[in-house]
Structure 1
């Protein structure tokens, strides 16, 4: 319904200053014409506010719009009945939530179909459009866990690239091979996530700027999940260290080693960390 009303608003805005009387020449204008012109301006302003109304403000703004339309009819007339038609379409200015909800669901379904057929070039744009459509349902129809999960699952709408290669490390005495690698390129930052194809929940994550090489450049964002999350620890006999030796477009080589600590001050010594991936 609101789309229909918006169309009426557009019609009004396009025709608001078209009058049946010829324009008066000179500096003089009749009192009746002045009242009509003022009424038209009031209606245009009310229509512009109506176009921006949401469910919370719709009823009050709609009522003000109807009042402005009626004042314009009284001041200017309504020969073709178009203004009265708008008033009738506005009805009692109540918000038809069911209709608004159905429209939001249709928009979300369309956005989802487009997103599911995304390519590398339009993935982010389509993903953001779908997130906006999901939020529209939440705002109008109410939230469900399914919608919240879908919204969170879309993340930052940066498409993850499945990388080949491995990240290997010895954690304590356990050798771990992270052979499921994804790389997300956010601006100029490579966000690297590794997990294993084995039956465990071990993960590793770090960030590095595209093309950057050298010592300790992944330390700030490095985290490895073993029994809990462990972060670089720089005290003790073997402080954490890392090195990115090669970082051309599409591949990454490096090493990392030594002390990590979790939030409970538990220590985990990681050794022989190797990064060798292409994406």
Structure 2
């Protein structure tokens, strides 16, 4: 085989394709809504006992209401982080972001809709990883073997010393690597601006070790629109230690009440998951030009 065909992350034709539950609770993964009990705009210093009390309040709210305000924000000393992580490990669906420079923690609670969107995106991405591995078996066998060692690990903490810790919705990690190569962020009840800033930070803070970030933007609260934005790492002047986020593609996947659904698809390349080298065929490396929904270059 001498031709590499990039797989495509294809669109759902309806919200049913994403397995939405009509009674699912909305989710907040960002800084756009007031927290339950603790102000996001004015974070306060709290004790670990206060944190546990706040988490219990969030759990109760999660169980009894569909409030979009399932989050809390506060200041925390760096030496208290292990204790916080131990507390959060007891509560599935709770994630956090820690800004080391500010000593600021933001805790978030996943909703059913949030989890289902992420799960569907992961399923499609897993198929793409398998397709790339199959397509490169004869073309570049060693790359195919590396793709066999890429696995989706769910929510795992990304720790960048001196900068902070974060927990994306999902991530694909090559066995033996420190950082994930591909990250998924689902935006529901947060602004696309907030999700975009997170996507950019994953790339810049890891100096491109995170090769790509897929942002699934779900219209809140009625789910009348679903967009997907792909951000990828682009080396600056070929320097390995410097990477900047590049907005590779924006695709509209779903529009409520539309007679014909959009025909967009995200086209993925081997270099979106692994750092390419000079021996790779051109077809396996992403061209750094904006791509139209159908995959063609602009």
Q: Please say which structure displays the higher CA radius of gyration.
A: 1
Tell me whether the two structures share a fold, i.e. TM-score over 0.5.
no
- The structure richer in helix per residue is 1
In the superposition, the TM-score normalised over structure 1's length comes to 0.32
Which one scores higher on RCO, CA 8 angstroms, separation ≥ 6?
Answer: 2
In the superposition, the TM-score normalised over structure 2's length comes to 0.30
